[in-house]
């Protein structure tokens, strides 16, 4: 499955489709998963899904991973759902390069039989 369809370049940056697991053991990007509406990046956060805390944790995790400011990241749909659309402002080519490299690393790990999370 190609991770590229879980994210797409927009006029202002990148739109990312995510599936969030709140109350996880630690914050992490897990892998790209197939869902009925198309692929999504599976993200685990330790924050509970209360008062926007899980959404804030997702934005903080993505900001750190993509090396951008938290203010550049916004949940634009699915605020109270596990499946969300996240808009990341910035250079779309640079942001997708980071996501593509991450996804390629996951696929290489899978092929090598490692299958661990990053």
Show the domains of the chain with their CATH numbers.
3-112 (3.30.1200.10)
For the chain, the straight-line distance linking the first and the last C-alpha, in angstroms and rounded, comes to 18
Q: Give the pTM.
A: 0.88
Sign of CA dihedral 81, 74, 70, 118: positive
Residues in CB range of 93: below 8 A, 6 or more apart: 9
List per-residue pLDDT tens for the chain, 118 residues long.
345 589 999 999 999 999 999 999 999 999 999 999 999 999 999 999 999 999 999 999 999 999 999 999 999 999 999 999 999 999 999 999 999 999 998 777 667 776 555 4
* Bridge partners, residue 74, by sequence: 87
């Amino acid at each position: 499955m190609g991770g590229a369809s879980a994210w797409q370049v927009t006029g202002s940056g990148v739109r990312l489709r995510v599936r969030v697991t709140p109350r996880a053991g630690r914050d992490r990007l897990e892998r790209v998963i197939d869902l009925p509406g198309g692929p999504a990046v599976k993200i685990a956060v330790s924050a509970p899904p209360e008062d926007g805390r899980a959404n804030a944790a997702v934005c903080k995790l993505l900001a750190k991973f993509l090396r951008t400011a938290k203010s550049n990241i916004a949940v634009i749909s699915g605020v109270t759902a596990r499946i969300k659309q996240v808009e990341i402002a910035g250079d779309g080519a640079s942001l997708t390069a980071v996501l593509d490299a991450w996804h390629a690393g996951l696929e290489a790990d899978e092929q090598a039989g490692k299958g661990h999370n990053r």
